[in-house]
Amino acid sequence: MESTMVLTEDEALDLLAFLVTAARTQLDEAAEYGPLRLLAAAGRLAEFMAARASPATRQFLAGPLRALPDAALRSVDPGKYATELDTVCRAVGEHLVSHFDGGAR
Amino acid sequence: MTNPVLEAIRTRRMVRALTDAPVPREQVELILKAVRWAPSAGNRRLHRYVAIQDPVTLRLLRMVSPGMFQRPRAVIAICIDGGRAQSFGMSPTARSLYIDVGTSAQTMLLAAHSIGLGAGVVTSFSRAAVSVVLNLPSGFSPEMFICLGFPAARQPPAMRPRTPVTWESLSQWERFP
């Protein structure tokens, strides 16, 4: 399958720096920040990818992936937060199947 | 009659969404002038402030600051001058050093609020990486960023307390029962 480069070197460095420094800051911070940091990284990646991704992936980034639960919900209603994350995870799975398998399954 | 100081304290919020409008240097200077009056243990003045407006430096800071969700147009980094603290015989972990990071921060947050700027604090960053980006002298430790800009019309939802908070729920008279 033909694949397109969706990140510039600057964007990749931005994300790399975020991930490495987040690993360090997480050693000292509340455990509940863990998912928040991962989602922030996903958000940055999605933002970088949007301009160069395929139309279907772009649609996914602009649609289901934008439905990430707000961080504030984590402290107020952890159950709902998990449920909303599951919804996004299902959408990720559906897009992966469609992207890699052409929806053949 | 409204007390303007109490009103400013009551209405200040952490501002996490900022516009692209640049922050005039004069406004950053006003905040730096205000923090000169922040309470400092023993009036030892062991903190130094680095004001950043250069877009490239701001971008690099954001890359190594996982807690920086906003895109600030200016940042003031609060640093502890560890060497100077040591000259007073203080341990690098002395509480007053970190308490005074807080007094500096609150002073700057209120100053920013009073001149119409949005401000938010960030502490989730790599001290090691920030020290390199800002070329901090040996012994300096960056402890907190005050992120500045003009507030966007739409703000992300605030982090709400786990349980309702009132001043009474946070306070006791004389001693705990």
pLDDT digits over A83-97, tens only? Answer: 888 898 899 989 999
Per-residue pLDDT for B116 more than 60? Answer: yes
Report yes or no on B70 lying in a domain.
yes
- B 109-168 residues inside an 8 A Cβ radius of A: 124-126, 128-129, 156-160, 162
Q: For residue B162, what pLDDT is reported?
A: 74
- B114 pLDDT more than 70: yes
Q: Which of residues 54-93 of A touch B (CB under 8 A)?
A: 70-73, 75-76
Check which CATH number belongs to the domain holding B65 and give it.
3.40.109.10
Who has greater pLDDT, A15 or A66? Answer: A15
Mean pLDDT taken over chain A: 87
Q: What is the value of pTM for the model shown?
A: 0.88
CB contact under 8 A, B159 and A71: yes
Helix (H) or strand (E) holding B47: strand B47-52
Whether the CB of A24 is below 8 Å from some CB of chain B: the reply is yes
C-beta of residue A39 within 8 angstroms of C-beta of residue B83: no
**Interface predicted TM-score (ipTM):** 0.78
pLDDT in tens, B86-105: 999 999 999 999 999 999 99
In a domain, B120, yes or no: yes
Contact list in B for residue A22 (CB cut-off 8 A) is 66, 124
Q: Has residue A69 got a pLDDT over 80?
A: no
Q: CA distances (Å), B50 to each of A59, B26, B122, in order?
A: 42, 15, 14
Query: Is residue A14 assigned to a domain?
Result: yes
Q: What is the pLDDT of residue B172?
A: 95
In a domain, B123, yes or no: yes
Is residue A89 situated within a structural domain? yes
Domain count, chain A: 1
Query: Residue written as tokens 């400092």?
Result: B40
Domain assignment of residue B84, yes or no: yes
CB A68 within 8 Å of CB A88: yes
Q: Would you say residue B98 lies in a domain?
A: yes
Q: How confident is the model at residue B61 (pLDDT cuts 50, 70, 90)?
A: very high
d(CA B127, CA B138): 12
Rg (CA), chain A: 15
Full domain range(s) for residue B16: 4-170
Q: How many domains would you assign to chain B? A: 1
Which residues span the domain enclosing A20?
Answer: 9-101
The verdict on residue A2 lying in a domain is no
| B177 domain-assigned | no
**Does the pLDDT at position A67 exceed 60?**
yes
Within a domain: residue A3?
Answer: no
How far A78 CA sits from the closest chain B CA (Å)? Answer: 11
- Domain for residue A75, yes or no? yes
Residue in B62, B50, B145 with CA at minimum distance from that of residue B101:
B145
